[in-house]
Each structure stands twice: as structure tokens, then as C-alpha cells.
Amino acid sequence: MPGHIVQTAPIPGQKPGTSGLRKTTREFQAPHFLENYVQAIWNGIGGVAGKTLVLGGDGRYFNAEAAQVVLRMAAASGAARVIVGQGALLSTPAASHLIRKRGTDGGIILSASHNPGGPEGDFGVKYNGPNGGPATEEVTDRIFAATQAITDYAMLDAQDVDLSTLGETRLGQMVVEVVDPVADYAALMAEIFDFEAIRALLARGFRLHFDAMHAITGPYAKAILEDTLGAAPGSVVNGTPSPDFGGGHPDPNPIWAKELVDRMMGPDAPDFGAASDGDGDRNMIMGRGIYVTPSDSLAVLAANATRVPAYADGLAGVARSMPTSRALDRVAEALSIDCYETPTGWKFFGNLLDAGRATLCGEESAGTGSDHVREKDGLWAVLFWLNILADSRASVADLMADHWARFGRHYYSRHDYEAVDTAAAKGVMDALRARLADLPGTTAAGRQIAFADEFSYDDPVDGSHSAGQGLRVGFTDGARLVIRLSGTGTVGATLRVYLEAFVPGPEGLDRDPQEALAPMIAAAEALAEIATRTGRTAPDVIT
């Protein structure tokens, strides 16, 4: 082996979460931390000898250095080829597409998604499998086991590879192929959507505003929305990726994308507004004067899917994560297709997509996607909306009003309590869990509780079982309360409270969500005792 073996020992805290290993940048920069984890990935997937991998990241601080480490370690362990996005950049959906298109053995994505970047921010490493999707739990369990058993890692002795120039070079015996990070992805989007119709929409004077939040989607959005589809120059804002995302928090929700919200709610708002996150897989959708919740967005995409060329023959089925509102279920019922309910985490959609059981999936956490890749896809969702708007010639507000009139409205909101004391957060969960069995038949928020349980999932494709996926309390009128601990936070615990209330209409479809959900918010406090147990009287983030 053209390199050397470094002796090491297991480092605590290397258990992959909802989406790979996500830690503070400082932790990742500590001696052996990154190297241990990368070697554990190799060990957990049966080695990389002779394999081809894709590599790229969202451009955050430490991205470039980490990419070089991954390359040296892949070469030292005998990988045949690594396909890298130019500048070590790839959006998460573009990486997923590249893995699939090139038929590789998987890939490494360097990102902490929507978490802030920089020396004081977060970093992350995720392994995706040959289907292009996040590693299944079985694989992440093996990787975790490998982190606990590690004794050494293999490192090539070499200089950094030039990742700024397209083409092939060698690193030891391994081929490093630097590719344009945008081209293949842009071509895929052109295959899926009716670009002519979107071009015509924009030519009719339809104005769009896309906020790339100083993150990875800037170059993708400029190439596709402005250069290809003809959106006015300047339609893409904050479009140059920066290592610390301009000092911001690249999470497309009403709190962190406030600039966009203000624009869309203000005078002279454009017709359509959208944003994506650090690594390009999340999306936020707005129309003039209206915010579309991710759960509603998913339902609208499903209801209008046949307007899009790639889905013109209809959807095989749809899927949503458990905490996502049941707006999707109503559409699926009307379309007579299956609707799957999975635990939080995109990896759980992989088997359904691979097996052709679901075409479209989504999560309340601003993720929507389809079988075109095995990740959620921010720009794809934006293009999906533009295709629908072009075809229907309706405004976002009209489209939503029509949707609610037809299916009823699932008022929905998520309240997050961040960096909560871990023991206190666990106490909230344990106390409510202990009460679940006694809840059915009792009332809360003036509503009767129909069921209360802890969600677990049996994968219908591979039969795997995932327990402990969130506590849920359902009411007889269709309202629902879900509480779970986030699997992506890096400091303390993040407690998520998901609130949902269903209004069949025609009355009451036009209320303010926080107001419509006020009784549910009170019920959540009564049932979970968050204020008394954690000392927090208000959520940090409301989406």
C-alpha cells in the first residue's frame, strides 16, 4: 500500500444520526476524528478496494480540506476511481444523481445540511449507497460498530489534488475525475420538466425570486433558472456559495429565510419565491402574500403531478414521514394510490422508491423528492411548482385555495425547542410515553383522544423494523400531536412538537395557522409539560 497505517483508537460520539455524522466543525477538526470516521465507513461497507465513489460537498468551511483527506484515504485503501465535483462541490441531490448515473458503488457527501457553517459552525459526513440514497440503518449500524472497533486507518502520503480543473488525474493508483457539478443535474431537470412551458411562463412576465442563502444551490439555480429558463438576471439572490453561508443559517424556513418572507409578503412582491438550504436538498415555497407549508406543498405536487412530463402517467404511490401532515393522505385517497408513512429521515424512502412503490415523497422538514434521485431535492421542487404554475396559469394563492376547497385543510406547524438539556428533553419523552396507554378516551384541548402510541415502522420491502420513532396522540376530529427528539442537532437535545388540525371546509379554510392551532398548542403543553420540565416557555423556531 503506497501510504502508511496510522494507529488510532475509537473516539466517542461517532454514531451517525438522521443524516450521517453531524458534529461541530471543531470536533471534526480534532486529531483523527475525520480519519477515524472515514475509515469506519470503508470498514462498514466492506472496504473500497476496486470501487468507484462520488465525492462532493456543500462548500462549507473545512469542505476542501476534508475532501482531500477522503481522497487520500480512498486511494490508500485501493479505491479505483473517485468522481469529484469541481472545487469539491456537489449539491446533495446532484451527488445522488451522479452516483446513479455513473453506476458507482456509492458516495461521500460533506455537509451538515442546513446547520450553520464556519469554524464555530457544524460539519458533516454522509455515506450514500449505490442506489444514490443515504445509507440504510443496517449500513449505518455497521459503520457505527466500526467506529467503536477501529484500531488504525490507512492514509496515502501525497500532496493535495487539484480539484479546480475538469478532467482526470491520478492519486497513487486511483483515478480522480473532476466533473462539472451542475451539468448532469441540469440535464436531468430538463428531462423531467416542461422547460418550454416554464420558459413561456417567465416570458409572460411572471417574476420569481430564488434565495440560495449563500449556499450550494446558487450556481445550480443561476444556470437553470436564469441562464436556461430565462428568469430575469438577479432573480437568484445570495447565489455565491460562501464557507460560512454569509454568516447565516442556511435553513429555508420562515425564521431563517426571513429576507425572502419579507419580500414575498411586502408590496411589489414577485409571483413566486423559493429558497434552498446549505446542501440543496430542502426547499421553501412561497407565493405573493402566502407561505406554503412543506406538508401542503407535498400534497399539491401529488395532486398536480400529471402536469409534469415525467409524471404524466400518474404516480405509483406516495410516501411521507410520520410527523408530516396527512394532507398527502387525502390526495392519495382521491387518486386511489398507496400512501406510506415512514419514520423521519430520507433513508426510509429508499426502499419504497427502489421497489417502485412510491414515486413522490416528502417530509415536513422542507424536503420533497421523487424517484429521479434518492435524496430530497430543493431545486427540483421549485421547478415542479413552476411547471404546475405554468400549466395551470393559476397563482400560488389560488392554487392553494382550490386545493383546500377540494381536500380540506390540514393546519400545521412545528415548534422546536433547541439546545434543551438532554436529560430534561428525555424526561419529557419518558413521562409522556408512560402516559400513552391511559390517554385514549380522555380529552385534551376540548378534543377527544382517539389513539396514542409510539411510532414504529416495519419496512414493507425488506422487513426491517425501526422502533422509537416519535410519540403521537391522535384526536377523533383528525387533529394530531407528535413529539420527538431530533436526530440532527449537535448541541444538547432538540425537542420537536408537530401540531396538526384538520378543517374539512368550506368554512374556516382561511385562518392564521398559529391561531387555528392554539388549542393544540395548549394540549401539547398539558400533555408533555415542556415548560415545567425544560424551563422553556416558548419555542425557538416555529415553522
Considering only 277, 296, 329, 364, the residue that binds Zn ion (CB under 5 A) is: 277
Is residue 113 part of the annotated active site? The answer reads yes
Considering only 77, 91, 96, 113, the residue that binds Zn ion (CB under 5 A) is: 113
Burial 371-383 (b: 16+ CB within 10 A, else e): bbbbbbbbbbbbb
- Separation of alpha carbons 80 and 48, rounded Å: 8
- Separation of alpha carbons 470 and 481, rounded Å: 10
Q: Does 486 bind ligand G6P (CB under 6 A)?
A: yes
Nearer to ligand G6P, 179 or 493 (CB): 493
To ligand G6P, the closest distance from the beta carbon of 19 in angstroms equals 4
Please name every residue paired with 420 in a beta bridge, in sequence order, or none if there are none: 493
Helix ranges, 393-508 (H): 396-407, 422-435
Considering only 2, 10, 254, 487, the residue that binds ligand G6P (CB under 6 A) is: 487
Considering only 23, 100, 249, 496, the residue that binds ligand G6P (CB under 6 A) is: 496
CB neighbour list of residue 141: distance below 8 Å, 6 or more residues apart: none
Considering only 87, 106, 345, 369, the residue that binds ligand G6P (CB under 6 A) is: 345
Amino acid in position 437: A
C-alpha cell at 508: 374556516
CB neighbour list of residue 24: distance below 8 Å, 6 or more residues apart: 120, 121, 122, 123, 490, 491
173 and 76 Cβ atoms separated by less than 8 Å: no
**What is the contact mask toward ligand G6P in residues 71 to 110, using x (rule: CB under 6 A)?**
----------------------------------------
Judged by CB under 6 A, which stretch of 3-11, 361-369, 420-428, 467-475 contacts ligand G6P? 361-369
The listed partner (Zn ion, ligand G6P, none) that binds 279, CB under 5 to 8 Å by sort, is Zn ion
CA dihedral 214, 215, 219, 224 (to 10 degrees): -100
Nearest to 317 by CA among 300, 329, 326: 329
To Zn ion, the closest distance from the beta carbon of 328 in angstroms equals 21
- Separation of alpha carbons 42 and 35, rounded Å: 11
To Zn ion, the closest distance from the beta carbon of 273 in angstroms equals 19
Nearer to Zn ion, 35 or 281 (CB): 281
Judged by CB under 5 A, which stretch of 130-138, 168-176, 241-249, 280-288 contacts Zn ion? 280-288
Helix ranges, 120-267 (H): 137-149, 183-192, 195-203, 217-221, 258-265
Which residue in 19, 77, 113, 413 is the catalytic one? 113
Sign of CA dihedral 310, 315, 321, 326: positive
Q: Does 363 bind ligand G6P (CB under 6 A)?
A: yes
Nearer to ligand G6P, 54 or 176 (CB): 54
Considering only 271, 281, 375, 416, the residue that binds Zn ion (CB under 5 A) is: 281
- The half-sphere exposure of 68 on its side-chain side, counting CA atoms within 13 A, is 12
Q: Does 346 bind ligand G6P (CB under 6 A)?
A: yes
Nearer to ligand G6P, 329 or 416 (CB): 416
Distances (CA, A) of 320 to 221, 358, 376, 466: 26, 10, 12, 16
Please name every residue paired with 345 in a beta bridge, in sequence order, or none if there are none: none
Phi first, then psi: what are they for 21, rounded to 5°? -95, 120
Considering only 36, 136, 242, 488, the residue that binds ligand G6P (CB under 6 A) is: 488
Nearer to ligand G6P, 17 or 478 (CB): 17
Q: Does 466 bind ligand G6P (CB under 6 A)?
A: no
Considering only 273, 367, 474, 539, the residue that binds ligand G6P (CB under 6 A) is: 367
Q: Does 35 bind Zn ion (CB under 5 A)?
A: no
Residues of this chain that bind ligand G6P (CB under 6 A): 18-19, 113, 321, 344-346, 363, 365, 367, 486-488, 496
Active site residues: 113
